[in-house]
Structure 1
Amino acid sequence: MSHPLFHLDSSRKESLQFQIREQISQAILEGHLPRDVALPSSRKLARELNVARNTVMLAYEQLLEDGFLIARERSGYFINPEILKGRADTPVRLNDIEADSLDWDERLAFKPSEQRAIEKPGDWHQYDYPFLYGQLDPEFFPTQHWRECSRDSMSVPSIRSWSVDHLNNDDPLLIEQIHQRLLPRRGVWASPEEILITVGTQQALWVSCMLLLKQGQRFAMENPGYVDMYNIASTFTDDIQLLPIDDKGMQPLESLKDCRLVYVTPSHQSPTTITLPLERRRQLLDMAETGNFLIIEDDYESESNYADNPTPALKSLDRHKRVIYVGSLSKTLAPGLRLGYMVAHPTLIREARALRRLMLRHPPTNNQRAVGLFIARGYHDSLINQMHQVMQRRFLLMRDAIQRHLPMMSTPATYGGSCFWMHGPKSLNAHRLAALAREQSILIEVGDLHFFCDRDSHRHYFRLGFSAIPESRIEAGILKLAALVPLAMEEAPSVADAETEAPETDATKTDAPETQAQPLPPQPALPTPHGASRRQRAS
């Protein structure tokens, strides 16, 4: 064996012992070491790698314990032939047909990569002013508490509990905590058999549509709305009704009575952040009864209301179990955790559990146990309270900065959420503004992605999130962004244009499906911190 096969890197966070073990095991599995020749002695390899002999001896002992090596008395360490058993040899090529000659366009039944999708730069944290929605400031993450719960989920009794094959069942501790702690906060009372853990809310939405929708059945959702909900629904039906948004959220139209399934984000409408008032929630439930349709309630950001108590969940008003409630554990703890849950009639949950089994059995139970411990010990409640205080301060800073530096913009009245939905002059090109902003280390999100008809007429919308940006940078970021707005205009607005583009009054409002933009409201007395089808069937 030639010693240059191994190279240690002192700049890596892993120990030298780990690097030696890693490189020897990879060399064995990849066939780079002869099976019948002894590895160098620990003394020789330590001298060649310029490390302590004990470091090499510990790496060899670990490889011996893991079955990569065997020790022969007075001969040294050799590759264990058992470790390579069952590995297929390189097959003999019978022909020289190129894989690229396959007609993949003809073979693929579905191309989800061609759908419009929300994209966020992976290096967003390197920007000075990341006004992104859906990303959390790393300072929010409760590192110490999460480490404690993760460590305890790795105790011997816990491992014996979650490491066995659970078939399609979830961790009982997490189900208990959702049942007893999370759902009651939203006024939802459900039995454990009505709860299913999912890989984020995304899987809950997919499973619901796959079980309840088929071609020819009408699906209804908000416009503007959550783009991936549109993508999921369009996988199962071409008949998608788009419901317009006004200053009270989604408008429950009479045509809903012809629907099979309706999707709504009542707590903070995505993307406008408007909260659906109680009277509309009751109206929607009454229409579900008379029209015999089901409702998916995506209750994201339900806790971030900075003016008063959150409006009760739609599910809490549901007397006939027509609402499929979808919640997320990732939004408050960490987006990368990918844990959510759905609450629905036991019959639907039973079928959803069976469908989930076909897809992935169940979300990893070790993660479920760690989250269950996190909630049971009160750390989740504490995190929610801390985030509420921090996000309230950021909300006020953002609102005030927008009023000072972007007075030409209008946004629906809102007192919660983690972003502002911006409605610029019609001559504003938000795509151009986003490109200019990125050059100045500012990240914003264009808004026309969330409109599902006539996107070109909505190019002046964009979204500003405040969950990922430190408080100290909000004012400066909005000021820098405001300086770029004139450069992003497709044409210089005249006085007449400005009057035309002013927010509509009650006398000038129309029934168009576009969001009715409202000027920023007067500052509220906040607590002190501690429809169309896919063929455009619109109404």
Structure 2
Amino acid sequence: MLERFFENPLDHGRALQQQIQERIVQAILDGALSPYEPLPATRSFANTLKVSRNTVTLVYERLAEDGYLTPVNRRGYFVNERYVREQLNVRVDDRSAAMFPHAAKPVDFEKRFRISPSRQSNIVKPAWRDYPYPFVYGQVSPDQTSVSRWRDCVRQAGSARNAQAWMGDLIDADDPMLIDQIIRRMLPKRGFRAREDEILITVGAQNAVYLIANLMCGPGTRVGVEEPGYVDARNIFLAHGAEIVPQSVDSNGLKIQEGLNGCALVYVTPGHQAPTNVTLTMQRRLALLEAAEREDFLIVEDDYEHELNYVGPQHPALKSFDRAGRVMHIGSLSKPVFPGLRLGFVIAPPPVIRELRALRRLEYRHPSALDQRSMAIFLADGHFDAHIRRQRDTLSAKWKTILREIERQLQGCGVTMTTGGSALWLRLPEGVDAGVLQKAAMARGVLIESGTVHFVTPPAGRGFIRLGFAAIANEKIAPGIKLLAEVLASVPRRAA
């Protein structure tokens, strides 16, 4: 019976031991192997699979260590009969049908939901790797050097020397090595310092926004957000019952207007405004802090892309000018490196961190301690800084290329000038609908993002698109923009 689990050939691009073990385990779980007959002898099985005998021997030994197999002297390896019995005892049967002969009444879940997040307007990202020209934001092309370095750091973190840092439940604590690295290596580059009791590690920057909203927002809480702005943050505040107060954005960032009056919280992305990528000017930063003290509101600074500046020096964070402790600073550890890793942090006064920590404990206790230690080693060994230098060089070249090609081939579009980041914000020619253009471009293999979703009032965004350039190869930018220009010329215009 084991042979049918090996009808498909092994993939020699993956570890052979792992593949063989996976298939034998699957055969055991499916009940395909009798506990009274030995598994094939290592030599004959190795010949059948065309692998070395040592490979099969190591797999059998490991399965025996894990309790799946039992070695019997001079007879070979047998499926652990006790394990098989345990599996049989937990299998689902049809007894419930005999006990409850009548059909169950269906549950109306809709009436039980307090909110319906699935109905919110969200950014939809298709399988972007399937598109030849992915001008998609929030994804990166792989940096093989950093992948290799990260793999080394994970191995170090998993060693006996570091195992005590992640084997146990941290309850509500964070890895002290990671906290130390953030304090010494990251925050000084953002222009400020913090103590250990002012830092909390989160599952990405967005999770930090959610924790703050959960702590500070309820029905009727007025939250100022940028317009256009980061849609996921807006939806998080809405999910907690907050009243959204849109705040206009121009080429200098958030406008400091009377609309901030009455807000309890103001969410801003001053380093690279989402989605326009403009940088909040120094004059407006100081004006925002003055307004916060005068009108008694708190500021959530989402500095998700702090490191990616290509013109002039790095901008200090808004937090660096905060005298009164009104700014809660959010940063991402994973977005500049591996977005799927999901590690971030929030810097805030000790009373806020204390409550956020207690709230985080209720939700998920703490982010993976193994990932925290791996990131701490990645920072300590200088790999993070080296990655940022390589990424900045790569993205700077792409930024110059895409600006040049937009000017050359999309002359009817108005691009919002930036000093960095990984995307550009474009105003489309009069009458062009971003949603229509997006669908037509996708049909030609060009993936772009409609600006509509970033506005509280969606029709206001019909004339804008966002072009991310971190995931696309530099040499593909020019032909991708050329295709987009052809699509743009072919789509119908709305009547004035």
| Shorter-chain TM band | over 0.9
Q: Which residue of 2 aligns with 1:367?
A: 371
TM-aligned CA deviation for residue 405 of structure 1: 1.3
Match of 1:474 among 460, 474, 477: 477
Q: Is it true that 1:417 corresponds to 2:446 in the alignment?
A: no
Measure, in 2, the Cα distance between the counterparts of 1:406 and 1:13. 43
> Structure 1, residues 373-428: CA drift from partner, whole Å, max 9, x if none?
11112221222222222222221221121111112111333222111100012310
Query: In structure 1, which of residues 93, 101, 109 is the aligned counterpart of residue 106 of structure 2?
Result: 101
Q: Distance in 1 between matches of 2:39 and 2:314?
A: 67
1:396 equivalent in alignment to 2:400: yes
Q: Residues 141 and 333 of structure 1 are in contact (CA less than 8 Å); yes or no, is this contact kept in structure 2?
A: no
Structure-2 separation of matches of 1:261 and 1:127: 39
**Counterpart among 212, 222, 227 of residue 218 in structure 1:** 222
Structure 1 position 232, deviation (Å)? 0.3
Aligned to 1:463: 466
Asked if the contact 2:31/2:84 (under 8 Å) is kept, the reply is: no
Q: CA, structure 1 residues 15+437, in 2 after alignment: closer, same or farther (shift >3 Å)? A: same
Q: Which residue of 1 aligns with 2:126?
A: 121
Are the aligned partners of 2:134 and 2:472 in contact in 1 as well (CA < 8 Å)?
A: yes
Task: Spell out, residue by residue over 1:140-193, the C-alpha distance to the aligned partner (whole angstroms, 9 max, x if none).
Answer: 761332222222112211113221221121111111010111011011211011
Contact 2:453–2:461 (CA under 8 A) maintained in structure 1: no
The DSSP-based 3-state class of the residue aligned with 2:346 is strand
Amino acid at match of 1:379: H
Q: Deviations 1:78-116 (Å, cap 9, x if unpaired)?
A: 322443576524252122566782222223333211111
- What CA distance in whole angstroms lies between the structure 1 residues aligned with 2:135 and 2:398? 12
Q: How far apart are 1:241 and its partner, in Å?
A: 0.5
Which one-letter code corresponds to 2:24 in the other structure?
I
Q: Distance in 2 between matches of 1:325 and 1:314?
A: 8
1:326: Cα distance to partner? Answer: 0.3
Matched letter for residue 469 of structure 2 = F
Q: Secondary structure at the match of 2:414?
A: coil
SS class of match (1:438) = helix
Cα RMSD, aligned residues only: 2.3
TM-score normalised over the length of structure 1: 0.85
In structure 2, distance between residues paired with 1:466 and 1:51:
44
The answer to whether 1:277 aligns with 2:281 is: yes
CA distance in 1, matches of 2:389, 2:151: 20
Post-superposition Cα deviations, 1:49-92, rounded to whole Å, max 9, x if no partner, equal 56665544333222212211112344443322443576524252
Write out per-residue CA displacement over residues 243-269 of structure 1, whole angstroms, 9 at most, x where no aligned residue: 111222111222323111110001111
How far apart are residue 223 of structure 1 and its match? 0.8
* Post-superposition CA distance 1:428-454 (Å, at most 9, x none): 02222222222222111111110111x
Q: Counterpart of 1:110?
A: 115
One of 259, 262, 272 as aligned partner of 1:258:
262
2: CA distance, partners of 1:407 / 1:353:
50
AA aligned opposite 1:353: R
Name the residue aligned to 2:446.
442
Aligned length: 491
Relative to structure 1, is the Cα distance of residues 96 and 253 closer, same or farther in structure 2, using a 3 angstrom cutoff? farther
Give the one of 251, 259, 274 matched to 1:247.
Answer: 251
| Paired position in structure 2 for 1:66 | 66
Unpaired runs of at least 5, structure 2:
none
The answer to whether the 8 A contact 1:257-1:290 is kept is: no
CA contact (8 A) 1:257 1:288 kept: no
Change (3 A) 1:419 1:53: closer
CA distance in 2, matches of 1:182, 1:2: 54
User: What is the aligned partner in structure 2 of residue 357 from structure 1?
Assistant: 361
- Aligned residue in 1 for 2:161: 157
1:376 is aligned to 2:380: yes
Write the distance in 2 (CA, Å) between the matches of 1:312 and 1:434.
36
Q: Which residue does the alignment assign to 2:213?
A: 209
Distance change (3 Å), C-alpha of 1:128 and 1:260: same
- 1:79 maps to which residue? 79
Q: Distance in 1 between matches of 2:475 and 2:22?
A: 43
State which of 156, 170, 188 in structure 2 corresponds to 1:184. 188
